């Protein structure tokens, strides 16, 4: 009897567990929406409209300019790729003028450059921009279509559907994708339609069915927008930090670095904060014309190594200094290392912030090396040493911090001793 119960329990859990084995580290790539939106005017703006040409050119850039080798492998479509109606068989089809060769040919093109293609659909009557939605009766058919085209990822939005449709539809799409012949990573916008918090949002269920999920509002091309997302993620970190891990990630939305709304410092801040949050890195900018400064931030190898750390632990804000408006974030990494971000919310002048690792709750008495992720400079420090970092307004200083020597025999040896919050 006991055995029977545990077999049933195991089966019940396994049917919930994500079976695709994908995205063991946060996904990286390019996503059209923030920069290119629903521009379908190919007549007047052929260079920037949502068309196969745009995705082919982004694929060319990712492959030719060294992005792919750094891990940026997804070329992701968003809304507005579809024709306004399904075809006679009820299938979704791309707009014939903007995608004359069809999605299968686009996927082949992207694959031939060593990249992966992502697509967008919406669980509901319409997509958010008014294109055909995936109602419950179309879920299996659409999953099959995407698999037949060779698509590698689906962003499944939730406009124009109600709570009960979403509760049925998101798990059903997961099953349909898993049942298909082609591995398809699954990005769910479900929590963003329910305030991103329990009890409306069940993160245990989500982690079982989705590789990533949007928790909160859409990013816009502004610093205010970045700050509002960071504020939401920190205000709710007790709830959402622990639900992220290999194969299932919180998604604070796209990187807007390279566009029009962020200064250089703010661009560095978005990259550092997204990295410490173990966030997916989907660049939404024009890779054909990106500036050298944006390029450098997005291509920082140590940053990417931290983002892609195999432990997959999301970081937290560990300190908020109310008087100086300095905040400290920390992400535990493998090999007892940590990423530390000193973030200034100030809008006056560079601020000299003095602290010590002991004040940041590092308990292990050790000698550390701290490598500045942006400048590459390395300094050595002991747990009790005071140090000063100079943080520019709305900017960050980011460290990759690792112990080089224990200074006394630790009571208990484990990877977690060096990290100031329990894993
Ligand atoms: C919603 C999503 C965005 C984008 C648009 C497309 O707003 O949250 O990321 O996909 O729809 O219409």
Task: Decide whether any atom of ligand 1 lies within 6 Å of the 218 Cβ.
Answer: yes
Report which ligand 1 atom has the smallest distance to the Cα of 254.
Answer: 9
232-281 pLDDT tens trace: 999 999 999 999 999 999 999 999 999 999 999 999 999 999 999 999 99
pLDDT at 211: 98
Q: Would you say residue 115 lies in a domain?
A: yes
Burial of 202 (C-beta count, 10 Å sphere; 0-12/13-18/19+): middle
Among 136, 30, 129, smallest CA distance to 81 is for 129
Q: Would you say residue 422 lies in a domain?
A: no
Same domain, 163 and 240: yes
Q: Would you say residue 415 lies in a domain?
A: no
Among 200, 275, 274, 270, smallest CA distance to 239 is for 200
Spacing, Cα 37 to ligand 1 middle (Å): 9
Distance between the two ends of the chain, CA-based, in angstroms? 36
How far apart CA 351 and CA 391 sit, in angstroms, is 5
Same domain, 386 and 275: no
Residue with tokens 């290999």: 246
Structure tokens at 180: 């298909």
Same domain, 335 and 383: yes
How far apart CA 75 and CA 119 sit, in angstroms, is 9
Q: Would you say residue 82 lies in a domain?
A: yes
Q: Would you say residue 117 lies in a domain?
A: yes
- C-alpha Rg value of the chain to the nearest Å: 22
pLDDT at 117: 99
Same domain, 64 and 132: yes
287-300 pLDDT tens trace: 999 999 999 999 99
CA-proximal residue: ligand 1, atom 3 (nearest)? 218
CA-proximal residue: ligand 1, atom 1 (nearest)? 128
Q: Would you say residue 417 lies in a domain?
A: no
Task: Decide whether any atom of ligand 1 lies within 6 Å of the 251 Cβ.
Answer: no
Spacing, Cα 157 to ligand 1 middle (Å): 7
Same domain, 246 and 146: yes
Domain interval for residue 328: 316-406
pLDDT tens for each residue of the chain, 423 residues long:
333 433 333 334 444 457 799 999 999 999 999 999 999 999 999 999 999 999 999 999 999 999 999 999 999 999 999 999 999 999 999 999 999 999 999 999 999 999 999 999 999 999 999 999 999 999 999 999 999 999 999 999 999 999 999 999 999 999 999 999 899 999 999 999 999 999 999 999 999 999 999 999 999 999 999 999 999 999 999 999 999 999 999 999 999 999 999 999 999 999 999 999 999 999 999 999 999 999 999 999 999 999 999 999 999 999 999 999 999 999 999 999 999 999 999 999 999 999 999 999 999 999 999 999 999 999 999 999 999 999 999 999 999 999 998 887 555 555 555 777 755
Task: Indicate the pTM of the whole model.
Answer: 0.94
Count of domains for the chain: 2
User: 3-state DSSP call for residue 10?
Assistant: helix
The last residue of one of the domains, among 307, 328, 360, is: 307
How far apart CA 208 and CA 197 sit, in angstroms, is 17
Q: What is the CATH number of the domain that holds 180?
A: 3.20.20.70
Same domain, 74 and 163: yes
Task: Decide whether any atom of ligand 1 lies within 6 Å of the 189 Cβ.
Answer: yes
Spacing, Cα 375 to ligand 1 middle (Å): 35
Q: Would you say residue 418 lies in a domain?
A: no
Spacing, Cα 221 to ligand 1 middle (Å): 14
How far from the centroid of its chain's Cα atoms is residue 28's Cα? Answer: 7
CA-proximal residue: ligand 1, atom 9 (nearest)? 218
DSSP 172-194: HHHHHHHHSSS--EEEE-GGGGG
CA-proximal residue: ligand 1, atom 5 (nearest)? 128
* Helices 139-149 and 102-112, axial angle in degrees (round to 10): 50
User: Alpha helices of 289-408 — where are they, by DSSP H?
Assistant: 292-298, 301-307
How far apart CA 260 and CA 192 sit, in angstroms, is 25
Same domain, 281 and 360: no
Report which ligand 1 atom has the smallest distance to the Cα of 78.
Answer: 10
Same domain, 63 and 190: yes
Spacing, Cα 33 to ligand 1 middle (Å): 7
Spacing, Cα 225 to ligand 1 middle (Å): 15
CB 316 within 8 A of CB 329: yes
How far apart CA 422 and CA 242 sit, in angstroms, is 11
Same domain, 282 and 363: no
Same domain, 184 and 244: yes
pLDDT at 135: 98
Q: Would you say residue 423 lies in a domain?
A: no
Q: What is the CATH number of the domain that holds 391?
A: 2.60.40.1180
Report which ligand 1 atom has the smallest distance to the Cα of 192.
Answer: 8
Task: Decide whether any atom of ligand 1 lies within 6 Å of the 33 Cβ.
Answer: yes
Residue with tokens 């009557």: 125
Same domain, 371 and 297: no
Task: Decide whether any atom of ligand 1 lies within 6 Å of the 286 Cβ.
Answer: no
Same domain, 278 and 137: yes
pLDDT at 194: 98
The last residue of one of the domains, among 274, 307, 340, is: 307
CA-proximal residue: ligand 1, atom 6 (nearest)? 79
| Residues with a known catalytic role | 157, 218
Of 118, 127, 157, 193, the one to substitute when testing ligand 1's pocket (max ligand atoms within 8 A of C-beta) is 157
The last residue of one of the domains, among 255, 284, 307, is: 307
Structure tokens at 5: 């119960």
């Amino acid at each position: 009897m006991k055995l029977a119960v545990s077999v049933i329990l195991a089966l019940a859990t396994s049917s919930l567990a994500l079976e695709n084995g994908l995205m063991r580290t946060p996904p990286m790539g390019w996503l059209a929406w923030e920069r290119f939106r629903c521009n379908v005017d190919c007549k007047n703006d052929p260079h920037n409209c949502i068309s196969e040409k745009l995705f082919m050119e982004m694929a060319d850039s990712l492959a030719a300019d060294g992005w792919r080798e750094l891990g940026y492998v997804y070329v992701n479509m968003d809304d507005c790729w579809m024709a306004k109606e399904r075809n006679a068989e009820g299938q979704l089809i791309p707009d014939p003028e903007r995608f004359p060769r069809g999605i299968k040919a686009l996927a082949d093109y992207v694959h031939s450059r060593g990249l992966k293609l992502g697509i967008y659909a919406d669980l509901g009557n319409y997509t958010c921009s008014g294109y055909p939605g995936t109602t419950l009766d179309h879920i299996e058919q659409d999953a099959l279509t995407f698999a037949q085209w060779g698509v590698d990822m689906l962003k499944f939005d939730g406009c124009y559907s109600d709570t009960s449709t979403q509760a049925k539809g998101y798990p059903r799409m997961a099953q349909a994708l898993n049942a298909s012949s082609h591995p398809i990573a699954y990005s769910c916008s479900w929590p963003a339609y329910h305030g991103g918090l329990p009890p409306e949002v069940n993160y245990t269920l989500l982690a079982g069915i989705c590789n990533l999920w949007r928790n909160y509002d859409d990013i816009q091309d502004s610093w205010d927008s970045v700050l509002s997302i960071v504020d939401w993620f920190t205000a709710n970190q007790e709830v959402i930090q622990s639900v992220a891990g290999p194969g299932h990630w919180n998604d604070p939305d796209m990187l807007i670095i390279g566009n029009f709304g962020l200064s250089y410092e703010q661009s560095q801040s978005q990259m550092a904060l997204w990295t410490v949050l173990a966030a997916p890195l989907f660049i939404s900018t024009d890779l054909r014309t990106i500036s050298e400064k944006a390029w450098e931030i997005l291509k920082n190898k140590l940053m990417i190594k931290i983002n892609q750390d195999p432990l997959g632990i999301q970081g937290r804000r560990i300190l908020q200094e109310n008087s100086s408006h300095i905040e400290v974030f920390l992400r535990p990494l493998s090999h007892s290392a940590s990423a530390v971000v000193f973030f200034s919310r100030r809008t006056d002048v560079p601020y000299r912030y003095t602290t010590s690792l002991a004040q940041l709750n590092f308990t292990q008495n050790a000698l550390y090396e701290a490598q500045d992720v942006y400048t590459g400079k390395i300094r050595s420090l002991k747990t009790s040493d005071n140090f000063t970092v100079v943080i520019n307004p709305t900017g960050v200083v980011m460290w990759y911090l690792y112990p080089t020597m224990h200074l006394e025999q630790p009571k208990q040896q484990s990877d977690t001793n060096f990290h100031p919050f329990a894993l």
